[in-house]
Chains A and B, each alone.
Chain A
Amino acid sequence: MAQHKVNYTQNGGLPIALTSVDKIVNWGRSNSIWALTYGLACCGIEMMASGASRYDFDRFGTIFRASPRQADVMIVAGTLTKKHAEFIKRLYDQMAEPKWVISMGSCANTGGMFNTYATVQGVDRIIPVDLYLPGCAPRPETLQYGVMLLQKKIRANQASRAQQAKRLM
């Protein structure tokens, strides 16, 4: 016997909610965006702050995972060096579909202030990016807003269709 109070006058007298498959799948996907722990530079500190108690990413279902196999979104937080470029590609390939990429900060967007021989001039040269966050470094609010925009983007998908895998080329 259920201990909680059920309002039998709502939803035609039944404690259920009717919806479409698209909506329920997208609801699940957009509210459990597990992020890959991928702090490459100082943006990583802001990303950690977003995960900690003051900004509390867990409210959005964004939990940091240390394995690409368990992650849905890769937050590229920091400067991507040319030496590291092959590893970001490998980690991206190891993530299961569907997957998203947030490019966090100027360095990840365009190379930023590191206009040098050793820095990749934007991660979108290596992997497809869904969301670019401006800032050096972006504040946790920016990252939170970015994740909420990503949730909106996920909700706009038709989940029941077979999704085409994103590839740069």
Chain B
Amino acid sequence: MRAYKPKDNVQAKPYYTDRFYVSPQVPKFSVEDDEVFAHDLEAIKAKFDVLDAYIQVGQMVVFINPEDNFKVLELMRDELEYTQLSEMSAIDWLAKRGGFEIFYQMLSMNKRKRVRIKMFIKKGEALNSVEKLFRSADWSEREMFDMFGIEANNHPFMKRILMPYDWQGHPLLKTYPLQGDEFAAWYEVDKIFGKEARDIIGPELRDPAKVDRYDSERFARLGYEVPKGTTITGNEPKNEQNYQEEGGVFMIKKFDKKDSVVIDDPQR
């Protein structure tokens, strides 16, 4: 059971009190604990270098050299029955270690086991595509290229998958700002109207809480709308919005509530 902590006033207190708090690691176990995993690891070790291996949350994690990735996955698929590549992508470690960690998440339906193959590549290095082994790697590697800029050699169509082809920058890098860089902020304006239209259209409004009572264009004056560019005095009359004009509309009958019938019994 979780230890009890008093929860009065919990909202007023800062969530993080220790700036240098490092969250505890999920415990790692030796591969020898599991027969199936131990056998698999022996098979990999017989042919390739294994840098590290352990079991975490019931799944084996194996670190290999990046140049072995195609051969290791081929061995996993053909001899060890890990027939599915359920996920692959990269983790940005550029600031701490100067590169990316690539992971391949494998699933064996026969053994009912999952294995994660991991490897580390330096910045600017490419990796071997595993698209010939697993069709699922086709789009995953394109997404990895799109989001991190890591290229896969021998991929049949190494292009961006989510962002437009003419996009600049790789959005999942830790250094990429959430609200976009200069290129992203002006992308649609530059593309549709041209760079000279930037002054006319103006920068994006990125502050969702901004309320300006002198703003005659945006949504700050709901119910008290004024024509664009009007000087605001604060004494504007409320705009009553009716869906029909006072005098009625040509050839259209105005709905009269008195004429309608409210059905009391829905099961009539």
Contacts and interface: CB of A to CB of B under 8 A. Distances in A.
Given A27-B250, A120-B188, A169 B200 contact: yes
Interface string B221-239: 0100000000000000000
A151 B252 CA distance: 12
Q: Pick from B177, B197, B219, B243 the residue with the most CB of A within 10 Å.
A: B243
A169 B197 contact: yes
A115 B191 contact: no
Given A110-B205, A110-B219, A117-B171, A19 B180 contact: no
B193 to A, nearest CB: 7
Contacts of A17: 251
Contacts of B189: 125
Contact of A117 (B164, B177, B205): B177
Interface string A97-123: 000000000000111000111101110
Interface residues of A, number: 33
* Among A116, A148, A151, residue most surrounded by chain B Cβ atoms (within 10 Å): A116
B192 A169 contact: no
Interface residues of B, number: 35
B264 interface: no
A126 interface: yes
A159 interface: no
A149 B250 contact: no
B243 A126 contact: no
A23 interface: yes
Interface string B187-219: 111011100010011001110100000000001
A126 B179 contact: no
Contact of A121 (B178, B197, B206): B206
Contacts of A132: 219
B256 interface: no
B188 A117 contact: no
Given A27-B251, A82-B188, A121 B193 contact: no
Contacts of A89: 192
Interface of B: 163-164, 171, 176-181, 184-185, 187-189, 191-193, 197, 200-201, 204-206, 208, 219, 222, 241-245, 249-252
Interface of A: 17, 19, 23-24, 27, 31, 82-83, 85-86, 89, 109-111, 115-118, 120-122, 125-126, 132, 134, 145, 148-149, 151-152, 155, 168-169
